[in-house]
């Protein structure tokens, strides 16, 4: 049943991401039928469907420049309705517990509540907002921030999202960095929704201005990419921000505020499968609204982020940055790497730069390390399309493969 619900959520996300409100409303209709006749959402669904239908008719008859803005608004309304109904479905099916507040003196209670409560009250977020700006409650705030981030990945909430964004400007540097990292995570995770929630865009842009035009946030983004393929669950404090990465004065602040207990609790709580999730986020990063805002066509920033990603093993970044890929894979080979994939990657970058002779020599080395021709094909053939798409003539790719077979 849980898998079925996940599939329905995916259908809604894909549909609304393309403003296909009728398709999404079919799933919402199924959920309302399950909730019964006395559910409070019927009128909202009918209003959304009527608005969508009227917009569609308008588009067919009149070229109205305001129609797209109106469509984005009704799509955002559909997202919020789906979220509200989804929360009630989870409660009805027993997939989420009924929550009735938390003990502010108990780290475990704070963690459990902010991770699991799907109907957060305004006073909950007000407490968190105050805690993020209080030296005495900073430790509790760290726990709530991480738990709320996990919660938001399952149950979207504009108010909770904006609370975390506002935490980016906290005077407590540890809290601010943790909020920044988790806001980055959520912005990538919910990229498909961002266009339909201008209030989140505005809050984030305001936070960047308050911090200093985003340079520090870009540095945190680089650290996010850097730790995403490492054992950050064990090595990085608070699940995302490495204690050793913090400036000495911030480390001292953590110790003085007795926040190491919070760090230990969060590291013990963080699930092992998070690494795969983080890798998927980084792979999606170049196509996101967040990337556009933070990099904004700045070649130096683009290269910095690509270089960090390549060093961490995100090989897809080499297609648009072959010169950086060449540096990374050359260094790996000089340090003694004997992995065929590193030789193939290095050869790809050389080939994209036009150095066919050196590329061929490194492909040959990969071919010899693979042992069997089939193993080499498994490395080389999946990349043929990318080579052609990035300027290598198709006939040369096939000729190269033929020569390697003979060699």
CATH number at residue 369: 1.25.40
Same domain, yes or no, for 86 and 118?
Answer: no
Determine, yes or no, domain membership for 27: yes
Same domain, yes or no, for 337 and 197?
Answer: no
Mean pLDDT of the chain: 85
Write the burial class of residue 259 (CB in 10 Å: 0-12 exposed, 13-18 middle, 19+ buried): buried
Q: Residue 60 pLDDT > 90, yes or no? A: no
**60-75 average pLDDT score:** 79
Same domain, yes or no, for 203 and 323?
Answer: no
Determine, yes or no, domain membership for 131: yes
Same domain, yes or no, for 325 and 256?
Answer: no
More confident residue, 334 or 273: 334
Same domain, yes or no, for 157 and 260?
Answer: yes
Same domain, yes or no, for 131 and 257?
Answer: yes
Same domain, yes or no, for 85 and 54?
Answer: yes
**What pLDDT score does 279 carry?**
84
For the chain, the residue count is 407
**154-166 average pLDDT score:** 96
More confident residue, 157 or 139: 157
Domain closes at, from 37, 63, 92: 92
Same domain, yes or no, for 55 and 152?
Answer: no
More confident residue, 6 or 251: 6
pLDDT band of residue 264 (cuts 50, 70, 90) is low
Same domain, yes or no, for 122 and 225?
Answer: yes
Q: Residue 369 pLDDT > 80, yes or no? A: yes
Q: Residue 234 pLDDT > 70, yes or no? A: no
Determine, yes or no, domain membership for 289: no
**347-359 average pLDDT score:** 93
Determine, yes or no, domain membership for 297: no
Q: How far apart are CA 55 and CA 49, in angstroms?
A: 10
Residue 163, token pair as written in the block: 């609370």
Condensed to tens digits (0 to 9), the pLDDT of residues 25-58 reads 999 999 999 999 889 999 999 999 999 988 887 7
pLDDT band of residue 246 (cuts 50, 70, 90) is very low
More confident residue, 162 or 96: 162
**What pLDDT score does 97 carry?**
86
Residue 281, token pair as written in the block: 């986020």
**What pLDDT score does 263 carry?**
53
Same domain, yes or no, for 75 and 116?
Answer: no
Number of domains the chain is built from = 3
**What pLDDT score does 261 carry?**
57
Same domain, yes or no, for 86 and 116?
Answer: no
Q: Residue 231 pLDDT > 70, yes or no? A: no
**178-206 average pLDDT score:** 94
More confident residue, 254 or 341: 341
pLDDT band of residue 349 (cuts 50, 70, 90) is very high
Determine, yes or no, domain membership for 42: yes
- For 388, residues 6+ apart whose C-beta sits below 8 A from its C-beta are 394, 397
Write the burial class of residue 67 (CB in 10 Å: 0-12 exposed, 13-18 middle, 19+ buried): middle
Q: How far apart are CA 210 and CA 204, in angstroms?
A: 10
pTM of the model: 0.82
**What pLDDT score does 271 carry?**
55
Provide the percentage of residues in the chain whose pLDDT is more than 90: 51
**What pLDDT score does 213 carry?**
59
Query: Domain of 28?
Result: 2-92
Provide the percentage of residues in the chain whose pLDDT is more than 70: 86
**What pLDDT score does 313 carry?**
85
Determine, yes or no, domain membership for 349: yes
Q: How far apart are CA 154 and CA 128, in angstroms?
A: 19
Determine, yes or no, domain membership for 295: no
Determine, yes or no, domain membership for 61: yes
**What pLDDT score does 70 carry?**
87
Residue 138, token pair as written in the block: 């900073």
Same domain, yes or no, for 179 and 209?
Answer: yes
Instruction: Residue 244: count other Cβ atoms within 10 Å of its Cβ.
Output: 8
**288-301 average pLDDT score:** 91
**What pLDDT score does 268 carry?**
56
Write the burial class of residue 230 (CB in 10 Å: 0-12 exposed, 13-18 middle, 19+ buried): middle
Condensed to tens digits (0 to 9), the pLDDT of residues 131-149 reads 999 988 888 898 899 889 9
Instruction: Residue 242: count other Cβ atoms within 10 Å of its Cβ.
Output: 15
**348-375 average pLDDT score:** 91
Q: How far apart are CA 223 and CA 282, in angstroms?
A: 11
Work out the angle between the directed axes of helices 122-132 and 107-116 (0-180°, nearest 10). 130
């Amino acid at each position: 049943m849980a898998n079925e619900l996940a599939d329905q959520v995916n259908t809604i996300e894909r549909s609304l991401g393309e403003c296909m409100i009728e398709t999404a409303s079919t799933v919402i209709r199924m959920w309302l039928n399950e909730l019964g006749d006395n559910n409070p959402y019927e009128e909202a669904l009918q209003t959304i469907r009527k608005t969508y239908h009227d917009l569609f008719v308008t588009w067919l008859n009149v070229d109205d420049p305001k129609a797209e803005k109106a469509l984005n608004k009704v799509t955002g309304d559909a997202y919020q309705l789906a979220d509200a109904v989804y929360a009630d479905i989870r409660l009805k099916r027993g997939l989420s517990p009924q929550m009735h507040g938390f003990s502010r003196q108990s780290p475990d209670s704070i963690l459990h509540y902010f991770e699991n409560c799907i109907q957060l009250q305004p006073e909950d977020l007000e407490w968190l907002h105050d805690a993020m700006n209080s030296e005495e409650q900073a430790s509790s705030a760290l726990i709530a921030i991480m738990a709320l981030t996990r919660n938001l990945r399952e149950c979207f909430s504009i108010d909770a999202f904006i609370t975390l964004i506002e935490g980016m400007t906290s005077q407590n540097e540890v809290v601010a960095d943790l909020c920044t990292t988790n806001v980055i995570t959520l912005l990538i995770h919910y990229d498909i929704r961002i266009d339909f929630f201008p209030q989140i865009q505005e809050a984030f842009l305001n936070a960047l201005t308050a911090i200093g035009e985003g340079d520090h946030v870009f540095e945190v983004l680089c650290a996010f990419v850097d730790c995403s393929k490492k054992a950050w669950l064990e090595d990085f404090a608070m699940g995302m921000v490495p204690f050793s990465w913090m400036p000495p004065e911030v480390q001292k602040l953590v110790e003085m505020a007795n926040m190491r207990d919070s760090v230990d609790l969060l590291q013990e709580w963080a699930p092992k499968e998070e690494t795969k999730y983080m890798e998927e986020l980084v792979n999606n990063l170049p196509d996101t609204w967040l990337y556009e805002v933070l990099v904004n066509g700045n070649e130096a920033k683009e290269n910095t982020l690509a270089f960090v990603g390549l060093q961490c093993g995100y090989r897809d970044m080499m297609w648009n940055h072959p010169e950086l890929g060449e540096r990374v894979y050359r260094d790996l080979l000089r340090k003694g790497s004997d992995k065929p994939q590193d030789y193939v990657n290095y050869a790809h970058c050389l080939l994209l730069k036009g150095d066919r002779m050196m590329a061929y020599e490194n492909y040959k080395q990969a071919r010899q390390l693979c042992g069997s021709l089939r193993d080499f094909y498994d490395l080389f053939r999946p990349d043929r399309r990318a080579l052609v798409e990035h300027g290598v003539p198709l006939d040369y790719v096939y000729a190269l493969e033929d020569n390697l077979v003979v060699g």
